[in-house]
Amino acid sequence: MIVIKGGTLVDGQRTVQADVRIDQGKIQAIGLNLEADQVIDATGQVVMPAFVDLHAHFRDPGLTYKEDLATGTQAALKGGYGTVVLMANTKPTVDNNEVYQDIVERANALDLIQIYQNYAISKGLKGEEWVDLDHLPASVKFLSDDGFGLQNNKVTFQLFERIKQLGKGLMIHEEDRELSEIDYRYAEDVHTMRDVYFSGKTGARVHFCHVSTIDACKAVEYGKAQGYPVTMEVTPHHLYLSGLDYKVHPPIREEADRRYLVEALIRGAVDCVATDHAPHSVEDKLNGSPGMIGLETAFQVVYKVLVEEYGQDLQLVSRVMSQRPAEILEVNKGRIEVGYDADLVLVDLAQSETIQPNTIRSKSKNTPMMGETFKGVVTTTVVNGEVKYRRDINEY
């Protein structure tokens, strides 16, 4: 039995000075003077549920010069993540059971974090022919053609009806590619409005990826108010950056968008933060590949925005980075309660870190935040009751 002693426990519901006892991968007890076989000293630190990322790219198989399962996992652990959902735009695409099972089995063999692999919606992500929806693995929770909006209205509506029947969920990158040629804002807004409406009419569960504009956010808020089964995420970079010419999809928006997203997150309209961790090589980035890495800096960026800029507390940070994404994924994580999975992270808020290439665990270094200094350093990440990362010795 492990006891984490001396820390301040913070989850989405409470902040309390107490210890946590872990046994057989679960939180067994919370209190003081708990017996232990092994002690983790958390004096002066906060103990939070490990973070849950609903949106990341590990580029494995096929693009492993950018990232692979091992390096992506190491980046996740350094950032305090115990659970990550991977998108299907690998090479080959995750549009058949063979590729899906290969990723799942190799991720499980690493025995580091919990990885959930999304399944593609269409073969080759082309939007022309759906995958074999009748023979999806039972473990598939969400389908996504992330990076490619669903273009045809009739086919999209029919897909929503089928997904409702299957009891699965959809994660959707909203982009009308015809309108992208005019304005990326219109492209995101129009398809978000359409798919909120389709979700309401079909009952399909839809999670809106990396919402970035005022009107797209308002559209999902409308759906929530109507009781539609819709949820949404925002990225750390859309909460922090504005007016920056750094290529990501959707683009970095204006300051008014940024502030609206932050305020929507604070009032609970936006469900959660997801990184859209998108590693690229230097050459690929120079050639226009969109995206940035984010797993290792997400907590620090969110802390800077919500706590330092907007004066919110750590409970909100925990709700949007752990509790709500775990609830959306329907896993027994994201809270410090007896019976929950013992996925925990220790954070030293007194420490600061300057983002440098040699401190990044990801294979890729593509972030406009390079050289910036942030408060809040993850010192220990525990997954399923086992210490998987310690900053002092860098063990995985």
d(CA 83, CA 61): 19
Adjacent-strand bridge partners of 232: 208
Helices 69-78, 97-110: inter-axial angle, 10-degree rounding: 50
Quick check: is 145 catalytic?
no
Catalytic hit among 60, 189, 271, 276: 276
Alpha helices of the chain — where are they, by DSSP H? 69-78, 97-110, 153-166, 177-180, 184-202, 214-225, 236-240, 255-266, 282-286, 298-302, 314-318, 324-329
* Token pair for 83: 């659970």
Output the CA angle 171-175-177, nearest 5 degrees. 135
Taking each helix axis from N to C end, the angle separating 214-225 and 255-266, rounded to the nearest 10 degrees, works out to 30
Residue 178: other Cβ atoms inside 10 A: 12
**Residue 118: in which H helix or E strand, if any?**
none
> Distance (Å, rounded) from C-alpha 93 to C-alpha 62?
9
H helix or E strand, kind and range, residue 349:
strand 344-354
Q: What letter represents residue 270's amino acid? A: V
Asked if 261 contacts 202 with a C-beta cutoff of 8 angstroms, the reply is: no
Both ends of the chain: CA-CA distance in Å? 20
How many helices (H) does the chain have, and how many strands (E)?
Answer: 12, 18
Residues catalogued as catalytic: 276
